[in-house]
Structures are given as structure tokens and as C-alpha cells.
């Protein structure tokens, strides 16, 4: 015969199971911010951001073209005079040395015209895919440096050495009739050939070299990361596209931008972190409809 449990006394409340402890949810705001920081942003947003930034950068360079070339050539005289005073005027010697080896000069012209964009884009894509933890702050650093360079182009238009025929400089693109970014006689092309200070060829090369040597695991890749900025500086000087001080300014600008961006992303005070997150969310909300319309057109 089954026995029943004794009834609880009148006035006694039966024990109830204790509610589960309320522990912090792993999906809280702090965890969400951490996951966003460790993950790369959506690819469509990055493509749109890079396209808009590069379009603004290119258009601004064109708008900063001087109507008169007097200031640009006066600044060139200042740069050359200062370099001669401190013994840094190696551009003419490198230019003459390069022209003695035509195949090397043609290779340098091709390198100057293509590597600046191709290598930088390849490093950005690799960084996005393989090192998402570091992508955001490194992307911000190169954009910060490039935007700041526009101020230099505006305040200090500078004629490159290849324009200074009276000083003995020779443009290898014109002299060898080879492929190049532009020639010295291309005065009617839609380019600002006086945007030389600071040299973003040198700056972007330093950025690429820093990313590769810091984040690549293979030894040969790290060696390439060291050689690429040095090769770029040799090319921009020997092809008479930049002065030594242009390269120094570009390298210093990117170095400062790397430091500032690292501090903002790794040692930023909490209020600035919240402001940065709010700005990023606002930008995402603004660009999401554009991406949605593009995807809808692609489906059709």
C-alpha cells in the first residue's frame, strides 16, 4: 500500500526551489563591444568607407592644384638649399646613377606607378582577413595620416626634382619613354604634381612595412616588410619624384599617426570609447541602407 507524504502543518509555507542566481550575461554590452573590437567590420562597410575616403582624397588633391607654379618652385629652392646646407642633397646623384642602368630605371618607373597602390591594397586585404584584431586601429592610422597629408599639400605646394631641369635632374619616364605614373611634360593631365610634401609613397610604404614585420609570422615576409620601405625611398629619390625631406616628413607623419591611433584604440578613456562607438554606430546606420539597396539590385 503506497504511503503518502504527510501534509504540511497549517500556516506553514512549503519550501520553494531557490531562484537561479543572476549572473552577468555573457552577452552584455561590454562583451558585445569586445566582440566587435576583435572582429573585422562588415566587408561592405569597409569597401564603401575606403572608396569614399579615396575619392575625397583624390578630389581634394585636384582642388589644391595651384593656378600659379611660382610658390611650388620657390619651395623647391628652399628644400634644396636646406638639404645642401646639412648635406642631405643625394637626389641628383641617385638620379644620375639610375639613368646609367636603363632597365633598372624602367623597373623603378613601374614600381613607382604601381606598388604604391597595389601593395597597400594587398596589405589592407590581408590585414582584414588574417588579423582582424589589429585591423581597426591600423586602418584608422593610415587614414589619419593620409588626411593630414592633404594639409601639407595645401599649405606647401612643392615642385618635384624632375621639374628642376636647371639643376640637372632628368625624368626617367620622359627620357626613356617608359611606363610611369606621369611624366614631367604632362602638364595638362588631371593630377596635382605639386603634392609632394609629405611623400605618401614613403609614408604608405612605412605603414605596409610596419604591418608586415609586426604581424607576419614567416621570416621571409618580415624581411620583405623591412626591404619594401627602403626600396620605395630609393625609388622616389632616384626617379626625381621626391626630396629626402619629403620622405622624412611622410615617414614621421605615419609614425605619429600609428602612435595616436594605437593610444585611441588601446588606452582610450571610457568617455572617448563611448563616443567612438556612437560615431561608428551612426556611420553604420547611415551606410546600411546603401548596402541593402546594392544587395537588392544584385538579387534582381
Q: Is 245 exposed, middle or buried (0-12, 13-18, 19+ CB in 10 A)?
A: buried
Residue 209 · residue 225 · CB < 8 Å? yes
179: pLDDT strictly greater than 90: no
Q: What is the per-residue pLDDT across 34-92, written as a single tens digit (0 to 9) for each?
A: 455 555 666 767 777 777 777 777 776 666 655 546 788 999 999 999 999 999 999 99
CA–CA separation, 137 and 132 (whole Å): 10
Q: What is the per-residue pLDDT across 117-147, written as a single tens digit (0 to 9) for each?
A: 899 999 999 999 888 888 888 998 998 998 8
Instruction: State pTM to two decimals.
Output: 0.73
C-beta atoms surrounding 20 within 10 Å:
6
Q: Does 189 or 39 have the greater pLDDT score?
A: 39
Cell representation of residue 137: 586601429
Q: Does 253 or 42 have the greater pLDDT score?
A: 253
Amino acid at each position: 500500500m503506497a504511503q503518502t507524504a504527510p501534509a504540511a502543518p497549517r500556516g506553514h509555507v512549503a519550501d520553494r526551489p531557490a531562484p537561479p542566481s543572476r549572473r552577468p550575461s555573457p552577452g552584455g554590452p561590454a562583451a558585445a563591444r569586445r566582440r566587435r573590437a576583435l572582429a573585422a567590420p562588415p566587408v561592405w562597410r569597409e569597401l564603401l568607407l575606403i572608396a569614399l575616403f579615396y575619392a575625397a582624397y583624390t578630389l581634394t588633391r585636384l582642388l589644391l592644384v595651384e593656378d600659379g607654379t611660382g610658390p611650388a618652385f620657390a619651395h623647391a629652392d628652399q628644400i634644396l638649399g636646406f638639404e645642401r646646407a646639412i648635406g642631405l642633397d643625394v637626389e641628383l646623384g641617385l638620379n644620375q646613377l639610375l639613368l646609367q642602368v636603363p632597365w633598372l630605371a624602367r623597373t623603378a618607373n613601374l614600381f613607382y606607378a604601381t606598388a604604391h597602390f597595389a601593395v597597400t591594397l594587398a596589405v589592407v586585404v590581408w590585414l582584414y582577413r588574417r588579423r582582424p584584431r589589429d585591423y581597426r586601429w591600423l586602418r584608422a592610422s593610415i587614414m589619419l595620416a593620409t588626411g593630414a597629408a592633404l594639409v601639407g599639400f595645401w599649405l606647401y605646394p612643392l615642385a618635384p626634382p624632375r621639374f628642376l631641369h636647371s639643376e640637372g635632374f632628368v625624368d626617367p619616364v620622359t627620357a626613356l619613354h617608359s611606363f610611369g605614373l606621369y611624366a614631367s611634360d604632362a602638364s595638362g593631365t588631371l593630377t596635382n604634381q605639386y603634392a609632394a610634401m609629405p611623400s605618401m609613397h614613403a609614408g604608405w610604404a612605412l605603414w605596409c612595412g610596419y604591418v608586415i614585420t609586426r604581424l607576419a609570422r614567416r621570416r621571409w615576409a618580415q624581411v620583405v616588410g623591412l626591404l619594401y620601405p627602403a626600396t620605395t625611398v630609393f625609388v622616389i629619390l632616384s626617379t626625381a619624384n621626391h626630396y629626402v625631406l619629403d620622405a622624412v616628413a611622410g615617414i614621421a607623419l605615419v609614425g605619429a599617426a600609428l602612435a595616436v591611433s594605437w593610444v585611441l584604440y588601446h588606452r582610450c578613456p571610457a568617455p572617448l570609447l563611448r563616443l567612438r562607438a556612437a560615431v561608428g554606430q551612426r556611420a553604420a546606420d547611415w551606410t546600411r541602407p546603401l548596402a541593402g539597396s546594392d544587395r537588392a539590385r544584385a538579387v534582381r
